[in-house]
Structures are given as structure tokens and as C-alpha cells.
Amino acid sequence: MRSSAIYGCLGPSLSAGERDFFRGVQPWGFILFARNIESPDQVRALTQSLRAITGDRHTPILIDQEGGRVARLKPPHWAARPPARDFGTLFAINADAAREATYLNARLIAHDCAELGINVDCLPVLDVPVPGAHDIIGDRAFATDAATVIALGRAQMEGLLDGGVLPVMKHIPGHGRAGADSHLALPRVDAPLSALSASDFVTFRSLSGCPIAMTAHVVYDSIDPQRPCTTSPKVIRHVVRGEIGFDGLLMSDDLSMKALDGPLVARAKAALFAGCDVVLHCNGDMDEMKQVAAEVKALEGAALRRADHALAQLITPAAFDAAAATARLNSLMASA
């Protein structure tokens, strides 16, 4: 049985200790970062090594390949991709061109990922930034209005899925009002529930068919002033599963981020108890991963159903002319 965890690894290849650990805990998936990436052949070898451990060619291997400042695949081996805000700027000029450009860009990202054995990309960012918020989201969001975010988020999801890569909408139920970077501190949002429902939640509600979602390490005072979404049964039950209506696989954001406190075993327990289906641990620290592994259980019940449903949406991509798509994308973006 696979466990309800996703782990990172330390370098461009697996150590003997990592192989033994992963073989023993059998995680649901893995996630790659810049420290794991040197060249196309090296990444392919790494993804093959990870899947050899699980014995499953569909094992999820995730990446954060957004474009702009959040990109693990970079030149010279991979093309630089624009930040989401560039597509939002185009949308204000020509909505049809922006939707096509967003789709093509996502399809090209999926093409890059699929060639490496990566089958999950942590996109789209569906957060709606507001004035005065921390810029950790900033130009990673398509725009500051929900309608644009929904239109382009849908195009991005379609491009990834058509390329054989699962999208992950983040950061549910919304990180756009956060006044702090949750990598470094715990953000609190004091907006009333009515404002959150009218703006922050609506993007996720409109795209709730996304196969996977990632939680926000954000406290919403009007819902649960004690806990961030990731560890709040109230936020997950009433907002994520309730008002938003998301019934896909819910994964936590990285448990090692400073927004959360306490030992890793407690963080993992709290996230799973709150309603996360799988927990994410990114930094590859073996002692921390062992703490997480001590708490996570086998993926079963509703969580297993959601995981299987997500993976069932993986397809073998149709023939794709990446050069032609790149030329068309460049032409569309030039019009902005």
C-alpha cells in the first residue's frame, strides 16, 4: 500500500539511504526542486529511479513549474516561461488571445515535464491578490480580479491535462490577502467571510473540477482563528469541501514551511486529521521525513478514491509540434 505522503530528495540522484527509506515507506509521490535538476538525461534518470522504487509507472512526480520567478526547469536546457501576470495583461487587451496563449504556454510546460517523466505540475495559481498583500503571490497570479483568474486558470489546466500532466490548483481557499510569506511566517487574514466568499473562494469554486488542490498555510480569522487551513478541520470541511465543493485530492502545502510550528510528526498528524488526503514534505531532510513517515498511514478510503480519480485523468498526449506552438505563443504575447 502507498502512504499518504509526498517527499522530496536532496540531490540530482538518490543516495542509498534515500532508496532504502523510500522503498520502506512507499510514498504516494515525489516532488522535484532546482537542487534535483541538472540536465534532461539526469532528470529522466532520477524520475526512473523514483518509479523503480514504487514499481508503478504512474507514480506522481511533482514540480513547481509556473514560469516567472517560480521555475525549476530553466535555461539553457529549458525555455524561460512568462509569469502568469503577463497573460492577465494580455487578457485585458484581447481575451481570446490571452486564453490561447495561456493554453499554449501550459501545453509547452507539460511537454517539457512529460519528456522528463514529471506528470504533475503545481499550477494553476488561483489566488486573487489585493492591495497591501505580501508580494509572495504578486505576479504569480493572473490578475487582481476573479473573472480573469478563472478564465486563464481554466486554459492553463486544459493545457497541462492535454499534455499528460495533472494540474494542482493552489493555494486553496486563497492566499491573495496574506500579509506574510508563509514560507517564513504564519499569515492571518481578517477579512469577513462575505468578502472571502465573493472573491477569494470563487476562483476555486469555479474550477473545483481540478483533480488536485494544495492548501494555504493561512489563518482565516472569520472561520477558524486558531488554525491555518492546512490543519483546520473547520476550514477544510466547511469551505474547501463545503462552500467550494472540491472533491478532488487535497494535498497540504509543504509541512516544513515556517508558517507551521511544532515537530514534523505533529504537523503531519494535524494536517491529516483536518482532512488533507496527502501531506507534502519538500526539503529532503531525512530526519524530518522519518518524523512525517511515523505519522502518515496507508492511503485508503475516500483519500484513495480521490487519488485514483486524479491519476485516471492522466492521458497519453496527442502529437504536438512544440516549435509551432512556441512561434504562435510568441506572436500572441508580442501583441501585448
Write out the H or E segment, with its range, that includes residue 84: helix 84-93
Catalytic residue flag (residue 183): yes
Name beta bridge partners: 188: 219
Q: How confident is the model over 183-194, as a mean pLDDT? A: 91
Q: In the predicted model, is pLDDT for residue 92 greater than 90? A: yes
pLDDT in tens, 20-41: 999 999 999 999 999 999 999 9
pLDDT of residue 259: 87
Q: Which three cell numbers stand for residue 32?
A: 522535484
Q: In the predicted model, is pLDDT for residue 150 greater than 80? A: yes
Burial level of 285, CB count in 10 A (0-12/13-18/19+)? middle
- The CATH fold assigned to 3-334 is TIM Barrel (3.20.20)
pLDDT in tens, 314-323: 999 999 999 9
What is the Cα–Cα distance from 173 to 170, expressed in whole angstroms? Answer: 8
What is the Cα–Cα distance from 86 to 121, expressed in whole angstroms? Answer: 19
pLDDT in tens, 191-208: 999 999 999 999 999 999
One of 112, 121, 139, 253 is an active-site residue; which one? 253
Q: Which three cell numbers stand for residue 248?
A: 478532488
What is the Cα–Cα distance from 102 to 104, expressed in whole angstroms? Answer: 6
One of 58, 96, 183, 321 is an active-site residue; which one? 183
Q: What is the mean pLDDT of the chain?
A: 96
pLDDT of residue 34: 97
pLDDT in tens, 286-305: 999 999 999 999 999 999 99
Q: Which of 167, 210, 161 is CA-nearest to residue 316?
A: 161
Cβ neighbour number for residue 41 with a 10 Å cutoff: 10
Q: In the predicted model, is pLDDT for residue 309 greater than 80? A: yes
Residue 225 preceded by cis peptide, ω within 30: no
pTM of the shown model:
0.97
In this structure, which amino acid lies at residue 224?
Answer: D
pLDDT of residue 179: 81
pLDDT in tens, 46-72: 999 999 999 999 999 999 999 999 999
What is the Cα–Cα distance from 148 to 230, expressed in whole angstroms? Answer: 26
Sign, CA torsion 113/114/116/118: positive
Catalytic residue flag (residue 253): yes
pLDDT above 90 as % of the chain = 94
